[in-house]
Amino acid sequence: MADPNDEPLSLLTRMTSTMSMGHTPEARVLIVMTGGTICMQKSPNGLVPARNFLERCMAPRPEFNDGEPHEPIEVRFHDGADGMGELHSLRTPTSVYGKRIRYAVLEFEELLDSSSIDSKGWAEIAQTIFRNYRLFDGFVVLHGTDSLAYTCSALSFMLQNLGKPVIVTGSQVPFSERKNDALENLLDSMDIAGHFMVPEVCLCFNSTLFRGNRTTKISASAFDAFASPNLPPLATITAMDTHVAWNLVTRSTILQPFSIQKDLHIHYVACLRIFPGIKPKMVEAVLRTEDLRGLVLETFGAGNAPSGHDNKLTQVIAEAVQRGIVIVNITQCLTGSVNPLYAPGMVLGRAGVVAGGDMTTEAALTKLSYLLALPGATQESVAKDMARSIRGELTENAGTIFSHPTGELSSPITQLTAIAYAIASGDIEKVKDLLHNDNQLINRADYSGNAPIHLAATGPSLAVLRFLLRLGASVHLRNHTGSGRTPLFLAANAGLLPHVMLLRQAGAHLHAEELDTARLHASQRPEIWNATGLEGT
């Protein structure tokens, strides 16, 4: 069977292999509707958000509806015992990758024009994803474009140790208009969320998938509304293929389950754009704002601000840093990075201003709000983390770039076979050797859908399993056995308790489609199956 996480196959190969299959696996995607143009309708007061997106826009379209009746799908609306409920679900026809996507749309109580979103709205999105994390393979968030880059950036920090795709999109023209970009953006987002293991908060727009915290809105009217000036797209979608730049995709390498930081201190930060002739008094007025804890300073070029004949501006800034305010230097330029190349930039650095590298303003502001809200945050800890990449939001110059020396490596399938042998014999040195310089192979599946992690989950060496997890192996990939088995299911089925425990530590859970079979097995071997977290589902 073709798997989009495998090496590229031609469209024809994929279609043929899909047709030869009996069982068509389903991916489950939750669509979270927050509002925005995508769902809007005309009213006497201009465009306003409208409800019932699934019934109004998606159900009538064959791209989104295979026409069969479907059971409602389980969704968690609130925390607590009475938080579970059901939503009407639909299913797409089978894709070229041989999967169907079953989905539901969860609409926010108040649908917003995104220009009104704030940290409360971001917390609501983060909590919705957290509550439903175990029930779905991926998430699509529908949102207005105005503050979309801010929301993507905020979510990328709030969602900690994310292991599943969260694809945020919207449109310039409502779905209900005859000529729109909503249909394409939604279809692409669902395809990515349902087929590709890109465990990041991404923005999908105009046939392009971006890392969310690298984006900025560049057009109020063009379909090509977003850019990622300092990082190439994570994927591009053409009529022929979805090409994922796997070497750019980041994965959590910390062995901790998914969690959220739901409060951002957005009300304690500010952003100020320096301009020629700006008065130090004006900067000081902002820096004296009650409760201010952080400031993003948009400076010229490589991070320069006017020095003035009396150095007053630098003095005002240095005093604010001494009062405990974290000040981050971001360039007004669309591309390039803040670094102490020129004297004025160096002066700011000496005054205690943090160089924000090539972060966008959207990323810097939301990251600052996130770090300030973390338990135990200090001025030093926040300043230190602002200067390094925590979610791929800035380019660290010291970072090692792994790339393929062209022509030297054998095909991925040959390499996967070699890795499989090394895992099966518990040869950690060999596994390290084969995987170390190629992070693109870590989540690659062979023809039976087994990625290295599936093999290690039943392999003889716990050290190999730990090594793969630390390298960013996804615990949520499903192979092609049965309804698609996760590494956790395989480890439990093989009776390997230490493997089960380690996978759980790294955030693994059984897939919704594995639960019935797991419950059957649990009656025979409760100790091991209960360790999979089955009881809590």
- What are the residue numbers of the active site? 37
CB nearer to ligand ASP: give 3 or 146. Answer: 146
CB nearer to ligand ASP: give 207 or 458. Answer: 207
User: Rounded to whole angstroms, how far apart are CA atoms 446 and 2?
Assistant: 9
Kindly state whether residue 34 participates in binding ligand ASP, applying the rule CB under 6 A.
no
* Minimum CB distance to ligand ASP, residue 103 (Å): 21
Environment class of 268 (CB within 10 Å of its CB; exposed 0-12, middle 13-18, buried 19+): middle
Phi, psi of 383 (to 5 degrees): -60, -40
Question: Which member of 3, 6, 107, 146 binds ligand ASP (CB under 6 A)?
Answer: 146
Query: 477-496 mask for ligand ASP (x: CB under 6 A)?
Result: --------------------
Structure tokens at 508: 């693994």
Question: Which member of 172, 180, 207, 208 binds ligand ASP (CB under 6 A)?
Answer: 172
CB nearer to ligand ASP: give 116 or 256. Answer: 116
Structure tokens at 222: 């063009």
Q: Which stretch binds ligand ASP (CB under 6 A): 17-25, 142-150, 232-240, 453-461?
A: 142-150
Structure tokens at 41: 């309708």
Question: Which member of 37, 180, 208, 337 binds ligand ASP (CB under 6 A)?
Answer: 37
CB nearer to ligand ASP: give 46 or 60. Answer: 46
Angle between helical axes of 280-287 and 312-322 (0-180°, round to 10): 10
Query: 78-117 mask for ligand ASP (x: CB under 6 A)?
Result: -----------------------------------xxx--
Kindly state whether residue 414 participates in binding ligand ASP, applying the rule CB under 6 A.
no
User: Rounded to whole angstroms, how far apart are CA atoms 205 and 145?
Assistant: 10
Which residues, 6 or more positions from 414, have their beta carbon under 8 angstroms from its beta carbon? none
Applying CB under 6 A, the site for ligand ASP has a residue count of 11
Residue 280's alpha-carbon distances to 38, 303, 305, in angstroms, are: 43, 17, 11
Phi, psi of 90 (to 5 degrees): -125, 170
CB nearer to ligand ASP: give 170 or 459. Answer: 170
User: Rounded to whole angstroms, how far apart are CA atoms 530 and 523?
Assistant: 10
* Interface positions, 502-521, toward ligand ASP (CB under 6 A): none
* Minimum CB distance to ligand ASP, residue 171 (Å): 7
Instruction: Let me know the angle formed at the C-alpha of 138 by 136 and 140, rounded to the nearest 5 degrees.
Output: 115
For ligand ASP, which residue has the nearest CB? 144
Where do we find the tokens 């919207």? Answer: 170
CB nearer to ligand ASP: give 202 or 416. Answer: 202
* Minimum CB distance to ligand ASP, residue 52 (Å): 18
* Minimum CB distance to ligand ASP, residue 212 (Å): 15
User: Rounded to whole angstroms, how far apart are CA atoms 231 and 200?
Assistant: 14
Kindly state whether residue 121 participates in binding ligand ASP, applying the rule CB under 6 A.
no
Count the Cβ atoms, other than its own, within 10 Å of residue 26.
Answer: 20
CB nearer to ligand ASP: give 35 or 357. Answer: 35
DSSP tally for the chain: helices H, then strands E: 18, 21
Kindly state whether residue 174 participates in binding ligand ASP, applying the rule CB under 6 A.
no
User: Rounded to whole angstroms, how far apart are CA atoms 455 and 188?
Assistant: 31
**Dihedral of alpha carbons 390, 394, 399, 403, sign:** positive
Residues that bind ligand ASP (CB under 6 A): 35-37, 113-115, 144-146, 170, 172
